[in-house]
Structures are given as C-alpha cells and as structure tokens.
Amino acid sequence: MSVPLSRRKFLRRGSLAPVGATLWATAASVAGAGKDAAKPATSGGMEPIDYARSFLIGKWPGNRVRFWVESRTRVIDERAGRHEDFYQCASCKAESTFATKDLFTPDNYDFLPVFGPEDGVIFRRKAWLNPNYRTVKKAAEMWEGQTYKVRTPGACRLLATNADIRRASHDAIPIVAQTEIADAATGLRAIIEFPVKTLNVHDERDLYQVDTGPVAFPDLSRRLASFAESLSLAFVAFNVPGFADFVIEDVTPIKESDREVTKVHHYSRLLSLPAKNRLYAITG
C-alpha cells in the first residue's frame, strides 16, 4: 500500500529533479499543434488563452497533479529584448494526498502555485501570519517539472466598444482580458491576462467594470534577481481602456478599538496604474 504524502513532501521530492531541466513551453513542446500550441509574443500583445481548456500537469510519477490555469503574466524586459510567461494556477487546500482518511491537514492553509520557465512561486496562506507564506523555487523542483497543456481558442475577437462588451456579457460569451502596464524607469513591461469572472454592466449608461482575481501581479518598479521575485497575488478592476486598479495581498494589521491585535495576509494594498486594457470575446 502506498504511503500518503503531504504536499510539502511532494515539493521536497521534486527537488531531486535536475535543476537544469528546461521547462519553457515552446510551440513544439506544448501539447498539440495549431490552435493547441503556444504562439510567440508580438510587440503589441499576445494571443489569448482558452482558459476553459488550459492546464499544467506535473511530471513526478508519484503525483501527476493537474492544475487549472487561472491567469498568465508576461513580464517583458524591453532593454534585454526578452520575456518570461508565468502561469498562475487555481488554489487548493493543504492535504494528505491519497490518504485513506482525514484528507485535509489540521493546520490548513490555501495553496496557490505560479509556474515560470525557470522559477516559480508558491503561496501558502494560513489564518495567521505564517513566515513561509511566499516561496520562490526552481520550477524544476515543483513536481519534477511541468507539462504545459495550454491552448488558444479557435476564434476570438477584440471587443472594441462598451456596447460590444455589454453585448458579449449578455450573450454569456467567455471574455478574456489583458491589462498591460509598464515602468519607463526600469524598462520593464507586463501583460496580465485572465478570464473575466465578474463583469458589471449598466446598459442605460453604457458602462462596464471588470473585477477579477487572483492574478500574478508583477512589481515593475524594481529590477530583481528574477522576475518571479516580483510577483504578488492581486485582484484587478477597470472600466475604461486607460487605467487599472489593483488590490494586492500584503501583510495587513487587524485592529480592535484602534489597537493592533494581530496581522494576517489579506488583499489590502491599493494601487492604481496607467494601463492598456483589452477585452476579447472567445467565440470558438
């Protein structure tokens, strides 16, 4: 009988994988071809993902875990002429995988992975301010690497007007957003892409508002050792093409009668940035 392993042991086992193993999914290595293959970046943007059918699958035989892709963040170094894509996957809970009973661990926490070509990030959010909340790891050490099952839609179209956005919302058409931000001082740019899970619409006033998350938000104001070091979890909102507001998960004090009683990780840090927002209807 196999011995149940915790998620922590999976990650430790993954550290036996060769660190030099390449994980970047090129057009040849992503499952399938044509519309199932990743396509190279263009200077103006990138082709949206079909989020309903995009997954990352671990390579470790002890657990070929499958993660649903929830967002993609492309961080672009304009000076060096290179970019890296980070896939933020759906969260789960701390568990004793394949156990015969008591599947959730008593000291439970939210577990959310982000996978990049060389480095990844794991977020573990407990009810209290745990010190290992955020861990940057080599992607090859996470389930011995990943197989990218990332697909693009058969057809999509840019929603050019508020009326287009409202119509697509009323017709229950899947919508994918891209929010592009940049920092001229560092020469870094990013495209944050995500399926729009919540969309507010006011027909009489011809208004819309996106409110969706989590996404992998990159801090472009600093040049760090790796792009993965810059990533935080955030929710994004916008209602015009030219700016986006973010609420970022950060250390947050909890107060009673103006007295701080503890601190937790919570979506509390507000940031508004100039942005280029694009919305696409996934039609095929």
pLDDT digits (tens, 9 = 90+) for 37-66: 333 333 356 899 999 999 999 999 999 999
Q: Which domain holds residue 123?
A: 5-149
For the cut 50, the answer to whether the pLDDT of residue 22 exceeds it is: no
Name residue 187's beta-bridge partners.
none
pLDDT digits (tens, 9 = 90+) for 251-278: 999 999 989 999 999 999 999 999 999 9
Verify that 205 and 169 share a domain, yes or no: yes
Domain boundary among 149, 181, 209: 149
pLDDT digits (tens, 9 = 90+) for 100-127: 999 999 999 999 999 999 999 999 999 9
Verify that 135 and 256 share a domain, yes or no: no
Verify that 133 and 182 share a domain, yes or no: no
The whole-number pLDDT of residue 27 equals 31
As a whole number of angstroms, the distance between CA 99 and CA 4 comes to: 5
The whole-number pLDDT of residue 36 equals 36
As a whole number of angstroms, the distance between CA 167 and CA 201 comes to: 10
Which amino acid is present at 79?
R
Report how many domains make up the chain: 2
CB 178 within 8 A of CB 193: yes
| Of residues 203 and 13, more confidently modeled | 203
What count of other Cβ atoms lies within 10 Å of the Cβ of residue 186?
15
The whole-number pLDDT of residue 37 equals 34
Q: Average pLDDT, stretch 194-216?
A: 98
Domain boundary among 111, 130, 149: 149
**Nearest Cα residue to 251 out of 237, 236, 262:** 262
Residue with tokens 């992607």: 139
Three-state SS string over 10-51 comes to HHHHHCCCCCCCCCCCCCCCCCCCHHHCCCCCECCECCCCCH
Total-model pTM: 0.84
Verify that 192 and 261 share a domain, yes or no: yes
